[in-house]
Amino acid sequence: MPPFFFYLLTLATFAVIYGVLVIGLNIHWGYTGILDFMYIAFVAVGGYVTAQLGLPPAQPAFGETYMLGFNWSFFPALLGGGLAAVLLALVVGLLSLHRLRSDYFSIVTVAISLILWTVAGNATPLVNGWDGITGVPQPLADVLNLDPNGYGLFYLGLCSVILILVYLFAQRLYSSPFGRALRSVREDEMVAQGLGKNVFTLRLRAFVIGAFIAGIGGGLLVTYVDAFNPSAWTSPETFFLWAALLLGGSANNRGAMLGALLVPVLFAEATRFLPNFYSPEFVNASRYIVVGILLILVVRFRPQGLIAERKLRVPKSKLLPLVASTASPESTAHLAQPGAVSFLPPEHNSSESKEAHHGE
Amino acid sequence: MQGFFSVYSPSNFVIVDSYWTETCICGLYGYFVASQLARSAHGVSIVRLQTASCYEEHLAFREEVCHLLQTLLLSLGFGLITASVLAIAAVGITLQFGVTNYLNLAYGDLLTFGVYVAFVANQRFGLSIWLGLLAAILLTSLLAWLINLLVLRPFTDRGTSRVMMLVVTVGVSLILQNVLLALFGEQFQKYAVDTGTPLHLGPFLFTPLQLGILGLAVGTMLAIHLLLRSTRLGKAMRAVSDSPELARISGINTRQIVNVAWLIAGGLAGLSGVVLALNVVTFTPTLGFGFIFVIFAAMVLGGIGSPYGAMLGALVVGIATEVSAIFLPSEYKTAIALVILILVLLLRPQGIFALRRYT
């Protein structure tokens, strides 16, 4: 098959895997408004654990050391990767989600991500240090016995099935009562709390669910690229995914997938195949410069993203009266305005409502 | 003393078995008793040998303790220098945060910008590093002012929430860092500068260059103190930092104050960037992004928005990171600062030294 086909196949596979990743981030930020800057760490944990569960035990004689090495088959290993990310999310969430204002929370998440990165690189027995893990077993490769292109197609199909499952799950989550509660937390947590919602539990659950999807996506990514080391998950990678989500459209899964196609794939992966014409770092650096400009421009000119979140329209007849009927109609008239209850992305919030409960 | 001293004497030799720490304390006493016992048995020479080795152990232990103390004092000295660098940076970011009220993740890359301005002046144009330092302060100050004017102010004018401001500064950080990366590459660079011969000052060991850094930091802190306490501008800055609305009502031109705050913060970023590069000797375009969280740690520890707290926080974080290098591999220095940052945010978000909240 022609090389161009192989190139397209690579791009398509990356697009599908990044689609899974951005949908997970969407559950954090788009659904719930959690400012998660350690998302790439969940991806990395999922990837490392998936790879290590599938690999045979480490052979220090060949200069490789890692913890697990259980020879598991692909799907249990992938599940294990997702659960490992869940574990990390639980620890981080239980420690910090209910205490911190969201901008301080984001600083804590970057800090945790950097600590994990330092440990992963320097503590060689854990995940083979800076050299990283290679030779991740390819699922069903021995059963199918396909040539590289055929196997690439098969893997693209596998990832697509998982993307569809994740997408359906995320859509179901969005329209469920639980999803509505999440969005109410995003819009105004004081109101959510006033209506009897446990804001902390809702946030924690969303954080864990997003992390699980990140772990699954990480497992798919690491299995596909076959080699993974700390230079693949520096913290700017998180902002790649953020740029994808913000450009595509927060809180809209189709937007998230579009962003995953546009930002990491077209901007980033495509430039990998371009020649270096200025300095060895030029192409790599220019990718990040473009992402930086994109972040600024999107927040400035199209904060809702390319595909905006649908506004939830509630017919007048279904609106519940907000105030008991004993109050005078004049005083409640402005409260029971009919028409659109808008669920705009969180950046439309006034900053006061965001900072109300934190850091006392 | 249990187990300190047991003598076993089957026929003609004696084994002196002692725990080495206790031998150190009671070395002489042990020698005395051992020789007494040995005289009564028949193994004088062996006992002498054994006790002699105990005494050597004692000496070795004392040496070890001395060595540890020396290392500790040396790292305290290094910590003082790191704290100086950190204090300049932390005061700068605190002034900016106090006035604008959003976190600025691009601040670390302003430091890097200053580093490379001085690098170009120093290595490409052959100027002295102190002229390079001056150029770095001026140009970084200008850049910070421009970034605020062209990029950030359009957002704050539209009332963008501080969460989204954080995302915008991430964008600025990515652009700055990678422009420098594209221009200068990933390789380690250094300044052409003479560090001078190290001087012993009491238990510490400083090069004249490090003393210069220390002096610059102390001078800067004094200048900031005078600015905040004794000038109209400083008073206005404190007023805006307390409450922008009230300041505006009182006739303070808040927009101008914000501009001045960016100029000062940028200048301090340039200054601290260059002294940081002098302190760590070699640098790459990611120097500042790695350092920003150490700066955050100092700022948060001192209470966000409080310049005096930031100075104290810098002292604690600077010394803690350097002393940690005795016990942990030095790769974890930054991680220690990150742990401090996380713990303070979780346990005492108003900061350790904060008398009152500024935010």
Q: Nearest residue on chain B to A35, judged by CA atoms?
A: B163
* Cβ-based contacts of B331 with chain A (< 8 Å): 118, 121-122
The reply to whether B43 and B174 lie within a common domain is no
- Could you tell me the residue range of the domain that residue A198 belongs to? 3-309+344-355
pLDDT digits (tens, 9 = 90+) for B83-103: 999 999 999 999 999 888 888
State the pTM of this model: 0.81
- Is a pLDDT exceeding 50 seen at residue B174? yes
* DSSP 8-state code for residue A308: P
Query: In whole angstroms, what is the distance from residue A114 CA to residue B251 CA?
Result: 44
Q: Quick check: is A172 in a domain?
A: yes
pLDDT of res. A323? 58
Give B162 to chain A, closest Cα distance, Å: 7
pLDDT of res. B357? 45
The reply to whether B51 and B165 lie within a common domain is no
CA-based angle B139:B144:B147, to the nearest 5?
A: 120
* Mean pLDDT, each 10-residue run in order, chain A (360 residues): 78 92 94 92 94 84 77 90 96 88 87 92 84 83 76 91 96 93 89 89 95 95 89 86 91 92 74 61 81 90 87 74 53 45 45 40
Q: Quick check: is B330 in a domain?
A: yes
The reply to whether B219 and B305 lie within a common domain is yes
pLDDT of res. A339? 44
* ipTM score for this prediction: 0.79
B334: tokens are 């930054």
- Which residue in B103, B90, B96 sits closest to B353, CA to CA? B90
B166:A35 CB<8 A: yes
Q: What is the CATH classification number for the domain harbouring A53? A: 1.10.3470
B166:A350 CB<8 A: no
Partner-chain residue, chosen from A122, A299, A355, that has the shortest CB–CB distance to B164? A299
The reply to whether B327 and B281 lie within a common domain is yes
B333: tokens are 């220095």
Tell the burial category of A268 from Cβ atoms under 10 Å away from its Cβ (0-12, 13-18, 19+). Answer: buried
Q: Quick check: is A328 in a domain?
A: no
pLDDT of res. A7? 80
- Is a pLDDT exceeding 90 seen at residue B121? yes
* DSSP 8-state code for residue A321: P
- CB < 8 Å & 24+ apart, contacts of B319-327: B319/B75, B319/B76, B319/B79, B319/B80, B319/B82, B319/B83, B320/B79, B321/B79, B321/B82, B321/B294, B322/B75, B322/B76, B322/B78, B322/B79, B322/B82, B323/B72, B323/B75, B323/B76, B323/B79, B325/B75, B326/B68, B326/B71, B326/B72, B326/B75
User: Which is more confidently placed, B61 or A94?
Assistant: A94
- Could you tell me the residue range of the domain that residue B259 belongs to? 79-347
B168:A295 CB<8 A: yes
Please state the domain count of chain A: 1
Q: Quick check: is B73 in a domain?
A: no
pLDDT of res. B355? 53
The reply to whether B118 and B19 lie within a common domain is no
* Cβ-based contacts of A346 with chain B (< 8 Å): 161, 163
High-pLDDT (> 70) share of chain B, %: 83
Q: What are the residues whose beta carbons fall under 8 Å from the beta carbon of B84, sequence distance 6 or more?
A: B213, B214, B216, B217, B218, B275, B314, B318
Q: Is B260 on the interface with A (CB under 8 A)?
A: no
Please state the domain count of chain B: 2
The reply to whether B39 and B142 lie within a common domain is no
Provide the residue type at A31 as one letter.
Y
Q: What is the CATH classification number for the domain harbouring B159? A: 1.10.3470
The reply to whether B49 and B108 lie within a common domain is no
- Is a pLDDT exceeding 70 seen at residue B76? yes
Query: In whole angstroms, what is the distance from residue A115 CA to residue B337 CA?
Result: 10
Q: Quick check: is B359 in a domain?
A: no
- Which residue in A49, A97, A328 sits closest to A216, CA to CA? A49
Q: Quick check: is B72 in a domain?
A: no
* Cβ-based contacts of A239 with chain B (< 8 Å): 170-171, 174
pLDDT of res. A271? 66
CA-based angle A199:A200:A204, to the nearest 5?
A: 120
pLDDT of res. A359? 37
Interface test with B, best of A100, A107, A124 (most B CBs within 10 A): A107
Q: Quick check: is A128 in a domain?
A: yes
Q: Quick check: is A76 in a domain?
A: yes
Q: Quick check: is A160 in a domain?
A: yes
The reply to whether B138 and B22 lie within a common domain is no
Q: Which residue has the tokens 């993974």?
A: A228
Q: Quick check: is A339 in a domain?
A: no
Q: What secondary structure does DSSP assign to A41-99, as a single string? A: HHHHHHHHHHHHHHSPPP-GGGT--BS------HHHHHHHHHHHHHHHHHHHHHHHTTT
A350:B161 CB<8 A: yes
Q: Quick check: is A117 in a domain?
A: yes
Q: Is A35 on the interface with B (CB under 8 A)?
A: yes
Q: Quick check: is B324 in a domain?
A: yes
* DSSP H or E segment with residue A351: helix A351-355
The reply to whether B101 and B139 lie within a common domain is yes
* B-contacting residues in A 92-121 (Cβ below 8 Å): 95-96, 99-104, 106-108, 110-112, 114-115, 118-119, 121
| φ, ψ for residue B307, nearest 5 deg | -60, -40
The reply to whether B53 and B106 lie within a common domain is no
B334:A114 CB<8 A: yes
The reply to whether B20 and B88 lie within a common domain is no
Q: Quick check: is B223 in a domain?
A: yes
pLDDT of res. B214? 92
The reply to whether B43 and B187 lie within a common domain is no
Partner-chain residue, chosen from B166, B182, B349, that has the shortest CB–CB distance to A278? B182
Give A202 to chain B, closest Cα distance, Å: 20
Q: Quick check: is B131 in a domain?
A: yes
pLDDT digits (tens, 9 = 90+) for B11-47: 333 334 444 434 444 444 455 455 555 555 444 444 4
Structure confidence at residue B119 as a pLDDT band (50, 70, 90):
very high
Q: Quick check: is A314 in a domain?
A: no
pLDDT of res. B258? 92
pLDDT of res. B199? 81
